[in-house]
Structure 1
């Protein structure tokens, strides 16, 4: 049995996969919209602890095919450290096909092309990366630690190494006053971003987190209601023209409306679904069910 250091987070698509904590907490941990790891001090788990956990997991789940490396940004580990973990996973799970983890743009940019390609060769082939917004101003206000330029460079580098990227955008992140700036900047970034998967989240702030968010935003900020969020979603979906086909989802628990399709192939259908929700206020997830 695996004993996790809580809280433990993973992307929705990793819900049925094995999770191994290679690190605890988040190395950056300064994004004002995120409270996931505020109560944890970042630590690199010793390899002997990680290996022992992998051994325990292999006894319980020997046929595991996919592994998610937690916590917040396991890609911050050195390539050598990650390779040791990946080799242990491959030796422990004969049917292993995919390893994935969260990544910050800086994690990708710090690694050489050769290191990224080597990690992929050892089955680390999917990175979850938060774009959040394509607006340089908003990224600065939320203390993301990245710019549109650095995000673009990281995505290009991952693509060159043939790594799949699942990117997320946060609807409502610019508030009412910066909504157009947020979505238009995000569209501009995504139209040049070679991502494999794209998901949207809806801004949700706990009380303590909201105070920190507003302090750092440093200007009046009004949260968007569901109608305004759906208009942002519509504008985003209607105008994305990615360099390659993108699998699109809005299945995160924070979203008012769940969507699924491929862009640009399913654009018209997705826009029609959003229009129907806007016009009829139907099929929206109740607010009490929207939690991170």
Structure 2
């Protein structure tokens, strides 16, 4: 199998076949992100010959794979034509596959028409994971995400209309000290207008090689305390009104939160309130600073 650098996937894609179709990120400018620093290039499309070879190799060992996950920071940036070619390639080796997932940026959806998205859905593209991080425009701008909350609303509504389901990554701590609750409420207002199947929350962990670390050294931004991050997460859960699943499965999270909203809201809030009331900032901070890798 052809894999380049560290391979990232959402926790819920653990049972999907991971096939590399791109490596790196077309944006690669978010101030907090260090995920692709081990690559000697910004972004690269895998030769179709390599993709075909990987599918052929995997099919020798796994004959019945219902879901394929294309790896890379945002394979959905590829043209509709390329994505269709890749899906047809999957069909050759896995004729009974059901869906294809991948990471996507909001900006990857923008150039695709509704008809193109419907074509991709017909070929199995579904359950796309989008690193939205927040619905707060101030934070999106400061962190250089490359889009605003209105773009999230417009593009995800296109996915809704095309029948392509999607999941959101949310980044607890993205607002900075003193803004967690305000930012979480703004994010809930945005998410409540959309239909994410899963909201996967991670907690901001700042590494010295990040641009955000340099902003902190310059005095331009201050990190939330670990307890603030927990309060922020509770605020998000309190203000979400949609049917969705919220989880905190990654290593960056201080505690595990898993549940379906709105059914489990009271239980999750009670759990978070208990954690906050019994939290020791020094112990939580020790975990954060000793977290070597996400």
Same fold (TM over 0.5): yes
Q: What is the CA deviation profile of residues 130-149 of structure 1, one whole-angstrom value per residue up to 9, with x for unaligned ones?
A: 11111111101100001000
- Residue 278 (structure 2) aligns with: 280
CA contact (8 A) 1:230 1:278 kept: yes
Match status 1:124 vs 2:122: no
2:15 counterpart residue number: 16
For residues 250 and 219 of structure 1, the distance between their equivalents in structure 2, rounded to whole angstroms, comes to: 30
Give the 3 Å change call, closer, same or farther, for CA 111–219 of structure 1 in structure 2. farther
Correspondence list, 1:1-292, <5 A? 2-40=1-39, 41=41, 42-209=43-210, 212-215=211-214, 220-242=220-242, 245-281=243-279, 286-287=287-288, 288=290, 291-292=293-294
Aligned to 1:227, the other structure's residue is in SS state helix
* Cα distance in 2 between the residues matched to 1:65 and 1:290: 34
Q: What displacement does 1:190 show?
A: 1.2
Shift of 1:221: 2.2
Question: What's the CA shift for 1:222?
Answer: 2.3
Compute the RMSD of aligned alpha carbons.
Answer: 2.0
Question: How far apart, in 2, do the equivalents of 1:261 and 1:173 lie?
Answer: 22
Q: Does the 8 Å CA contact 2:2/2:20 hold for their aligned counterparts?
A: no
CA distance in 2 between partners of 1:159 and 1:272 (Å): 32
User: Cα distance, 1:179 vs. partner?
Assistant: 2.2
Q: Contact 2:17 / 2:69 at 8 angstroms: preserved in 1? A: yes
What TM-score, normalized to structure 2? Answer: 0.91
After superposition, the C-alpha distances for 1:31-60 in whole angstroms (9 at most, x for unaligned) are 111111234321111212211111111112
Q: Tell whether the 8 Å contact from 1:10 to 1:70 is kept in structure 2 after alignment.
A: yes
CA distance in 2, matches of 1:160, 1:18: 27
Say if 1:105 and 1:146, in contact at 8 Å, map to a contact too.
Answer: yes
Superposition deviation, residue 115 in structure 1:
1.0
- Measured in 1, the distance between the counterparts of 2:38 and 2:30 equals 14
List alignment gaps of at least 5 residues for structure 1.
Answer: none
Distance 1:131 1:161, change over 3 A: same
Distance 1:240 1:290, change over 3 A: farther
Once the two structures are superposed, residues 205-260 of structure 1 have per-residue CA deviations (whole angstroms, 9 ceiling, x without a partner) of 11111xx1144687532222321111101111011112xx1111111211111111
Query: Could you list the runs of 4 or more consecutive aligned residues of structure 1 that deviate by over 3 angstroms after TM superposition?
Result: 214-220, 284-291
Q: Which moved more, 1:145-154 or 1:179-188?
A: 179-188
Name the SS of the counterpart of 1:131 in structure 2: strand
Report the CA distance between 1:182 and its aligned residue.
1.8
Shift of residue 290, structure 1, vs aligned partner: 7.6
Could you tell me which runs of 5 or more consecutive residues in structure 2 were left unpaired when the two chains were aligned: none
CA 1:290–1:274: 2 relative to 1, 3 Å: farther
Q: Give, in whole Å, the separation in 1 of the partners of 2:26 and 2:241.
A: 33
Residue 161 of structure 1: how far off its partner (Å): 0.9
Work out the CA distance in 1 between the residues paired with 2:171 and 2:131: 9
Distance 1:13 1:291 in 2: 19
Specify the SS of the correspondent of 2:144.
coil
Distance 1:198 1:208 in 2: 27
Q: Secondary structure at the match of 2:241?
A: coil
- Count of aligned pairs: 286
Aligned-partner SS, 2:126? strand
